[in-house]
Amino acid sequence: MSVRAKFLVESVTNHAGGGNTVKLRPVHTGSEENKSFWQATPSGNLEMYINNPNAATFFAPGAEYYIDFTQVVSQVTSGDSL
């Protein structure tokens, strides 16, 4: 099972030492689809520091992105700790 969200990039900050910080928030206007997503995710934010140059340039301020969440099922073996 997975859950899909739709977020808008509020800002992308380029850091002098490399990497970018991307700030996103749930969509709420602009289309009927956005209104539907707003009903499911009415508030919140997501902030990521991205050190990979190719991934960092993928995000554009004002652009909308789908985010899919899928739970990871861990398989702990002897000797591993959580």
Is 22 a member of any domain?
A: yes
In this prediction, residue 7 carries a pLDDT of 94
Residue 82 counted as domain residue: no
- pTM of the entire structure? 0.76
Q: What is the pLDDT of residue 30?
A: 86
| Integer angstrom CA distances of residue 7 from 38, 72, 76 | 10, 22, 33
CA distance to 5, 18, 46, 57, per residue, from 13 (Å):
23, 10, 14, 11
Q: Is residue 28 part of a domain?
A: yes
Domain of residue 48 covers 2-69
In a domain, 76, yes or no: no
Specify the number of domains making up the chain: 1
- One digit per residue, pLDDT tens: the chain, 82 residues? 888 889 999 999 999 888 999 999 999 888 888 888 788 777 889 999 999 988 878 999 999 999 999 999 988 776 666 5
Residue 78 lies in a domain: no
Instruction: Output phi, psi for 31, to 5 deg.
Output: -165, 165
| Structure token digits, residue 56 | 């960092």
31 falls within a domain? yes
In whole angstroms, give the CA distance from residue 59 to residue 24. 10
